[in-house]
Each structure stands twice: as structure tokens, then as C-alpha cells.
Structure 1
Amino acid sequence: MPLIFALALAAQMSPMTTPVQPLPKGTGLPPPATEEAQVMAPVTVLLNGIAARDAVAIGEALRPDASATIATEQAGASTITHKTRAELLARFTPGPERFQERLGDPAIEIDGDIAMVWGPYTFLIDGKVHHCGYDHFDLVRENGRWKIQNLTWSSRTTGCEG
């Protein structure tokens, strides 16, 4: 009987642990040494290139045959535009305005040598919200380096947060 009492008392005194669920994808940037961070590296290069209005830097993040697709929503209508790599890079020329694209909490999925990054963004010009939407980056890994194969984004001017 004293043994049963001692075991019951010990069980009450030992801390109970609750299983912790893993964090859902898209809750923050991955640690630098992870494969997810390696996938994000060319996306970060691209975003920094946009901020610098530097087509050469943006081009470093892209595969030679990369392309872009834009789904624009304006006045209740939607248009889809497709751009070649050269047409995309031509959008980023030096100018007086300051560009900034904020990518919020991206989801990152990887399967072997293909990956996807998806997340909401807000695009600012001179610190003011210009448009927003979702970015979708398709990436491939060749020779150990991730490159962007395709960018797809939606663009709207309503419902954007600063």
C-alpha cells in the first residue's frame, strides 16, 4: 500500500507535458541554414533588386528562360499579362521613385529540385501603397543553386494594407 501511495504522489508531482504541434507554414522566414532559406535566397535577391531598381541584380535570381504572369484586377475587370524575362527586366530602370515590395509570411514548399514560394505582398512607391496581391514563385535547383523559373502575381489597388 505505501508503494501505491508513493507512485500516486510522484505522478501528481511530475510535470505533465502537452504535445506541441508544429508551427504552420508561412509564419516567418526560415533559419539561414535550412533548405527553405536556400529557396528564399533568390526571392530575396529579386526583392532587393526591385528596391534598387536594378535589372541586372533581378536577372541574377532568374533562370535564362524565366517568365512572368500578372493577373491585374481593376474596376471589376481582370486581365492576364505574360512577360518574357527581357520584358520583365525592362520594367526596372533607374528612376527617382523608391520601390519597395514587402512579402509577408511566405509559404515554402519543396520537392526535390522544384520549389514554390507563395505569399501576400504590398508594393510601395515612395513609401505609399501602390498595389498589393499575392506573389507566387516557381523555382528550380540546377547545379546546386536555386533560380526562379516563373513569377506569377496578382495586382489590385483595393484592400491593401500599408
Structure 2
Amino acid sequence: MKHILLLFAFGLTLSLNAQDKEQENVKATILEFFDAFHKQDTTALKDMVTDKIILQSISTDNNGKTVLKHDDFNMFMRNIASIPKDRTFEEKLLDFSIQIDGSMANAWTPYEFWYQGKFSHCGVNSFQLIKEDSKWKIMYLVDTRRRKNCQRNSED
């Protein structure tokens, strides 16, 4: 009985270590995505997503109505590439919550967005990723965007 418990504990430890490693791989993919985003590296961005990536944003209009906006990835890429090099922008990820089941992962990342050194807005990104050929790729990204009720970690 003692041997069975030891084998079970050993197997559980191996499983948890593998899960931790995969969570770190998912986190690394998202960090690489934002590194390429900040560098306006559209080639790297394209390599980190699936061919049919879905991009959406949820916000509130001037009347307080929730709005779901669908974005075309190619237009997103053009917009990123067209930002003048003298403009600074940074999406600061504040935390990561990652769940994985086999070849599917979800990552929830609260963020702050800064433009030209000034706070612009906050929200949450929700990433859906798929593991293809041992590499995590983003297949769906939806975010929220708001200017109010932001718990800012940085100063203006």
C-alpha cells in the first residue's frame, strides 16, 4: 500500500510539473505577442496566430450600451504597422490566469493601455489558444476596453 501511495504521489508531481510548464509556454506566447505588438513586428505577430484568428472588442458607447466590435486581423496588422515610430504605446499586462485542457488553453490577462506616456484605458484580454505542432498559437482574442473603474498600477 505504501508503494502505491508513493507511485501515486510521484505521478501527481510529474503531472503538475507538466501543467506548470505548459502554463509557462502559454504565458510566453502571449508575452511574445505583445513584444511583437510593441515593436510593430507584423511578421512575428502573424506567426503567433492561426490563419483564421478572430478578434473582437467589447466596450460601452456614449449611451451606456454594450457594443461588440469585430476586427479583421489584416486590418489590425495594417493599423499596427502604420503607427508612426515617434509614437509610444504599451499594453501593460497586470496578471495571468491560465487554464489548459490538452491542446486548448485560455488566458485571462487584465491590462492597462498607455499612449504617449499617458494612461488611455484598461480592460481584460481573453485569449483562446491551440497547440499546433508543439507550438501554442492564438486563435481567438476578445478584450474589454474602458476608461472608468480602472485599478491602475502605474502613475500618470
* TM-score tier (shorter): 0.7 to 0.9
**Residue number in structure 1 paired with 2:146:** 156
**Residue number in structure 1 paired with 2:97:** 107
- Tell me if structure 2 keeps the 8 A contact 1:73–1:154: no
Instruction: Kindly report the root-mean-square deviation, in angstroms, between the aligned alpha carbons of the 2 structures.
Output: 1.5
**Structure 1: unaligned runs, 5 residues or longer:** 1-32
The within-5 A match list for 1:30-49 is 34-49=21-36
- Tell me if structure 1 keeps the 8 A contact 2:27–2:96: no
Matched, 1:65 2:52: yes
**Residue number in structure 1 paired with 2:108:** 118
In the alignment, the residues of structure 1 paired with residue 37 and residue 89 of structure 2 have an alpha-carbon distance, to the nearest angstrom, of 7
Residue 98 of structure 1: which of 88, 99, 113 is its match?
88
Identity of aligned residues (%): 26
In the alignment, the residues of structure 2 paired with residue 62 and residue 38 of structure 1 have an alpha-carbon distance, to the nearest angstrom, of 15
> Secondary structure of 1:86's partner?
helix
- Tell me if structure 2 keeps the 8 A contact 1:64–1:85: no
- Tell me if structure 2 keeps the 8 A contact 1:67–1:88: no
More helix by share: 2
Q: Which has the larger radius of gyration?
A: 1
- Tell me if structure 2 keeps the 8 A contact 1:52–1:99: no
Q: CA deviation at 1:57?
A: 2.2
Q: Which moved more, 1:122-131 or 1:138-147?
A: 122-131
Q: Which moved more, 1:120-129 or 1:147-156?
A: 120-129
In the alignment, the residues of structure 2 paired with residue 73 and residue 120 of structure 1 have an alpha-carbon distance, to the nearest angstrom, of 17
> Secondary structure of 1:105's partner?
coil
